[in-house]
Chain A
Amino acid sequence: MAVSPAFKTELLATIPNLRAFAVSLTQSADKADDLVQETLVKAWDKHESFQMGTNLKAWLFTILRNEFYSQMRKRGREVQDSDGVMTERLAVHPSQHGMLDLKDFRGALEQLPEDQREAIILIGASGFSYEEAAEICGCAVGTIKSRVSRARNRLQEILDISGEAEFGPDAISAQVMGSNAA
């Protein structure tokens, strides 16, 4: 059966989202686009297994995610927090204005283990429900919930969001910054 034009149109429409998810997973624009390409080819090949009217975005995310992990396995799993990345970024401090900088946030996100990162992205950014995310990741809803909450706690820790400036030597610099800001 030929691929319907509607299917193709929807595929195209989902590409920006697929790319965003792919970058979140791979942390690399190049790898992400290769991953998206692979996903599109796979999706095209098995389009018959998709039922029009159901959630194409979730279906595509599932394919992309499976592809990502199978590539990682093939490569013997590059350790994501190798070398300096981890130590270099252990503590990220809010930038001058006391506001959390997007670059800092990106750095913090990179430090999360994949399973936590993908969970918090799916729930907090891609707009999936916990049920959908569980299906995409092939795990229980409760697992997604706990990953999201661990990811969130970890990010708060790394970014020093809660309880900042309350104690420790940072309190002083925070006050200085605070008085300067607006």
Chain B
Amino acid sequence: MTKQKTGAEPVNRRRNGSGDPLGTNSEIGRKLKQYYDELVSDEVPDRFAQLLSQLEQAEPLQKKG
């Protein structure tokens, strides 16, 4: 209830006021996350783990003695 007399508190509404145009209130924001989450949860093919293992094994060879 204590209402401060603030002449100079400029950016209070910066956080959420007009803010977050892609937040959960926005249909676009929700769809965007849905679209992306679906991609993220897609199963990762083995080729990437294999690739990293190959890179790891190649590593010592690259070093100069």
Contact = CB atoms under 8 A, between A and B. Distances in A.
Contacts of A105: 31-32, 34-35
A176 to B, nearest CB: 21
Contact of B27 (A41, A100, A148): A100
A140 B22 CA distance: 20
A2 B21 contact: no
Given A100-B27, A109-B35, A125-B36, A37 B21 contact: no
Interface string A26-37: 000000010011
A44 B36 contact: no
Contacts of A80: none
Contact of A16 (B22, B40, B49): B40
A2 B31 contact: no
B47 A3 contact: no
Given A19-B44, A44-B55, A149-B21, A12 B34 contact: no
A20 B63 CA distance: 34
Interface residues of B, number: 30
Nearest to A23: B39
Interface in A103-146: 105-106, 109, 120-121, 123-126
B21 A24 contact: no
A102 B48 contact: no
A159 B4 CA distance: 44
Interface in B33-47: 33-42, 44-45, 47
6 contacts: A19-B39, A102-B34, A105-B32, A121-B32, A121-B36, A161-B27
Interface of A: 2-3, 8, 11-12, 15-17, 19-20, 23-24, 33, 36-37, 40-41, 44, 100, 102, 105-106, 109, 120-121, 123-126, 148-149, 152, 155-156, 159, 161
